[in-house]
C-alpha cells in the first residue's frame, strides 16, 4: 500500500494566519473598549470593582489554553487506547489523532507564562494574605489546603504534567515513524508497552491537572467527580476533533481507504461519550442538589441563579448542545455514517464544550463581569488559528496511512 502525504497549501495556511490576525484585532478592540469604558460595565451595580481588561484577558487565555491543551492530549490518549486494545479498525485514522498533540509544547509554554503573570487574577488561593493568621482576610479553609495548593508545588506539577505528556507523545510518534521505515512488528509491540505506561500516568495526571487548573478556581468548593467531569469534556471534544478532521481530509481527497464503517465507529464514540459526559454531569449535580448543603450548592447557584442570572442560559444551553442535540441527531445508524450529520454534530460539540469550560471558569473569576465580547471571540480565534497551524504541521510530518502497521489490512476491510 502506498503512502498518503498531506500537503497544506499556502492558501490554507494563510487562512489560519488570517484567523489569528482577526483574533488579535478583536482582542485589541475589546481591550480598548474596556479600558475606555472602565471595566466590563456590570461591576458597579454589584458593589465591587469591575474586572480590569487584563484580568479578563488572562482568564480567557487560561480558558482557551486548558480547552485546546485537553484536545491535544486526547490525541495521544486515543492512540494509546487503540494500541492497548489491539484495535484494528482505527489504524487508518490513528495518524490524525497522533498529530493533535503537536500543540502540547505551545500549550505548556502559554500555561506557564499566563500563570506567572496572571495567576492572581485567575486563582484566589495565590494571595499571601489568605495564609496570614493575623490578617483580617485570613481564610482557614484555603490555609488548610496550602500543602497542595501553593505556587511552587503548582508550578512543579504543571511542568511535570507537560513534560510527561510531551515525552510520551514524542515516543509514540517516534515508534510510528520507525514502523513506516522498517516494517515488522517490533515498533508495534513497543508502542503497546509505551501506551500501557502512558495510560496509567494519564489516569492520574488528567484528574490532578483538572483539580489544579479548573477546580482550584473555586477554592472552597470541591467535587470528587471533577476529574472525571473535565476528562469527559476533553474526551468528547477530542473525539469530535478527530472525527471532523477525518471528514474534512476525506472531502479533500485524502484518506481514500476510510469508508462509512470507520465513520460509523467514530460516530458511535461521539454519541456514546456525549451520553457519558451527561451521566457525569448529572451525577455530580444530583448529589449536591439532593443534599442541598449551602457550602456545596453555591457552585451551582452561582451558575443557575446567582451573578444576576447571566450564566443561566449557558447552563441550559450546555445540556442542549452537548447532550440533547448529539443524542437525537446521531441516534440512527444512518446518521453516524453520513459526513454531513457528523460534521454538524462535531462542530456543535466543539463549540458546546468550549462553553462548558467557560461555565467552569468564569463565575469563579469574573463573576458578573464576564460576557461574550470581542475579548472572548478574539482569544478563541487566536488559539484556534495557532492550534490548526500546529495540528496541520503534525499531519504533514508523516504518511496519513501507517503503511507497515500489522493491522492495516483489517482496517481497510473494516465492516460494521
Rounded to whole angstroms, how far apart are CA atoms 379 and 72? 18
Residue 300, CA distances (Å) to 193, 232, 313, 351, 371 in order? 42, 19, 13, 22, 18
From 302, 305, 278, select the one nearest 359 (Cα to Cα).
302
**Please, which residues have CB within 8 angstroms of residue 396's CB and are 6 or more apart in sequence?**
5, 6, 7, 8
Supply the DSSP symbol for 309: G
- Are the beta carbons of 120 and 129 closer than 8 angstroms? no
217-276 pLDDT, tens digit per residue, is: 999 998 999 999 999 999 999 999 999 999 999 999 999 999 999 999 999 999 999 999
- Are the beta carbons of 322 and 236 closer than 8 angstroms? yes
CB half-sphere exposure, 319, CA atoms < 13 A: 11
pTM for this entry = 0.96
Per-residue pLDDT of the chain (416 residues; tens, 9 = 90+): 788 999 999 999 999 999 999 999 999 999 999 998 865 444 433 445 788 999 999 999 999 999 999 999 999 999 999 999 999 999 999 999 999 999 999 999 999 999 999 999 999 999 999 999 999 999 999 999 999 999 999 999 999 999 999 999 999 999 999 999 999 999 999 999 999 999 999 999 999 999 999 999 999 998 999 999 999 999 999 999 999 999 999 999 999 999 999 999 999 999 999 999 999 999 999 999 999 998 889 999 999 987 788 999 999 999 999 999 999 999 999 999 999 999 999 999 999 999 999 999 999 999 999 999 999 999 999 999 999 999 999 999 999 999 999 999 999 999 98
Rounded to whole angstroms, how far apart are CA atoms 390 and 407? 28
Rounded to whole angstroms, how far apart are CA atoms 342 and 330? 8
DSSP calls for 48-109: SPPPPHHHHHHHHHHHHHHHHHHHHHHHHHHHHHHHHTT-SGGGGGHHHHHHHGGGHHHHHH
Grid coordinates belonging to 299: 457552585
The helix, strand and coil proportions of the chain, stated in percent and rounded to the nearest 5, come to 75, 0, 25
Rounded to whole angstroms, how far apart are CA atoms 414 and 76? 23
Per-residue b or e along 313-327, where b marks 16 or more CB atoms closer than 10 Å to that residue's CB: ebbeebbebbbebbe
Phi, psi of 272 (to 5 degrees): -65, -45
**Please, which residues have CB within 8 angstroms of residue 6's CB and are 6 or more apart in sequence?**
249, 254, 392, 395, 396, 400
Q: What confidence score (pLDDT) does residue 136 get?
A: 93
Rounded to whole angstroms, how far apart are CA atoms 222 and 290? 16
Rounded to whole angstroms, how far apart are CA atoms 211 and 15? 36
95-109 pLDDT, tens digit per residue, is: 999 999 999 999 999
Q: What confidence score (pLDDT) does residue 308 get?
A: 84
Q: What confidence score (pLDDT) does residue 2 get?
A: 82
Residue 277, CA distances (Å) to 153, 261, 324 in order? 30, 24, 12
Q: What confidence score (pLDDT) does residue 39 get?
A: 56
Q: What confidence score (pLDDT) does residue 47 get?
A: 47
Supply the DSSP symbol for 323: I
Could you identify the residue written with the cell 492512540? 79
Supply the DSSP symbol for 372: S
DSSP calls for 178-213: HHHHH-SSHHHHHHHHHHHHHHHHHHHHHHHHHHHH
Q: What confidence score (pLDDT) does residue 165 get?
A: 98
Q: What confidence score (pLDDT) does residue 89 get?
A: 96
Locate all alpha helices (DSSP H) within 123-259, ordered by sequence: 140-144, 151-182, 186-213, 226-251
Amino acid at each position: 500500500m502506498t503512502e498518503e502525504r498531506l500537503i497544506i497549501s499556502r492558501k490554507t495556511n494563510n487562512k489560519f494566519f488570517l484567523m489569528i490576525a482577526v483574533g488579535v484585532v478583536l482582542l485589541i478592540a475589546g481591550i480598548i473598549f474596556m479600558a475606555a469604558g472602565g471595566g466590563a460595565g456590570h461591576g458597579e451595580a454589584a458593589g465591587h470593582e469591575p474586572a480590569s481588561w487584563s484580568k479578563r484577558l488572562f482568564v480567557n487565555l487560561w480558558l482557551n489554553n486548558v480547552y485546546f491543551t485537553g484536545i491535544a492530549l486526547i490525541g495521544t490518549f486515543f492512540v494509546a487506547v487503540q494500541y492497548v486494545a489491539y484495535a484494528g479498525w482505527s489504524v487508518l485514522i490513528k495518524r490524525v489523532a497522533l498529530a493533535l498533540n503537536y500543540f502540547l509544547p505551545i500549550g505548556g509554554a502559554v500555561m506557564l507564562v499566563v500563570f506567572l503573570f496572571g495567576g492572581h487574577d485567575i486563582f484566589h488561593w495565590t494571595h499571601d494574605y489568605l495564609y496570614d493568621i493575623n490578617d483580617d482576610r485570613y481564610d482557614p479553609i484555603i490555609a488548610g489546603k496550602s500543602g497542595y495548593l501553593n505556587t511552587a508545588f503548582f508550578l512543579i506539577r504543571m511542568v511535570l504534567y507537560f513534560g510527561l505528556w510531551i515525552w510520551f507523545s514524542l515516543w509514540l510518534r517516534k515508534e510510528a515513524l520507525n514502523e513506516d521505515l522498517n516494517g515488522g512488528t517490533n515498533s508495534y509491540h513497543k508502542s503497546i508497552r509505551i501506551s500501557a505506561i502512558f495510560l496509567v500516568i494519564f489516569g492520574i495526571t488528567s484528574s490532578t491537572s483538572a483539580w489544579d487548573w479548573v477546580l482550584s478556581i473555586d477554592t472552597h468548593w470541591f467535587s470528587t467527580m471533577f476529574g472525571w467531569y473535565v476528562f469527559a469534556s476533553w474526551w468528547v471534544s477530542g473525539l469530535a476533533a478527530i472525527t471532523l478532521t477525518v471528514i474534512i481530509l476525506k472531502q479533500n481527497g485524502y484518506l481514500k481507504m476510510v469508508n462509512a464503517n470507520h465513520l460509523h465507529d467514530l460516530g458511535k464514540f461521539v454519541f456514546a461519550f456525549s451520553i457519558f459526559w451527561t451521566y457525569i454531569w448529572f451525577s455530580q449535580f444530583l448529589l449536591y442538589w439532593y443534599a442541598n448543603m449551602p457550602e456545596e450548592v453555591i457552585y451551582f447557584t452561582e451558575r443557575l441563579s446567582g451573578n444576576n442570572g447571566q450564566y443561566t442560559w449557558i447552563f441550559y444551553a450546555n445540556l442542549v448542545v452537548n447532550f440533547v442535540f448529539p443524542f437525537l441527531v446521531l441516534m440512527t445508524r444512518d446518521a453516524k455514517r453520513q459526513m454531513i450529520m457528523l460534521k454538524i454534530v462535531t462542530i456543535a460539540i466543539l463549540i458546546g464544550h468550549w462553553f462548558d469550560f467557560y461555565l467552569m471558569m468564569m463565575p469563579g473569576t469574573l463573576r458578573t463581569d464576564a460576557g461574550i465580547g470581542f475579548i472572548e471571540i478574539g482569544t478563541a480565534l487566536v488559539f484556534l488559528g495557532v492550534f490548526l497551524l500546529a495540528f496541520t504541521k503534525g499531519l504533514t510530518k508523516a504518511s496519513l496511512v501507517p503503511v507497515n502497521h500489522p493491522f492495516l489490512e483489517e482496517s481497510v476491510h473494516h465492516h460494521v
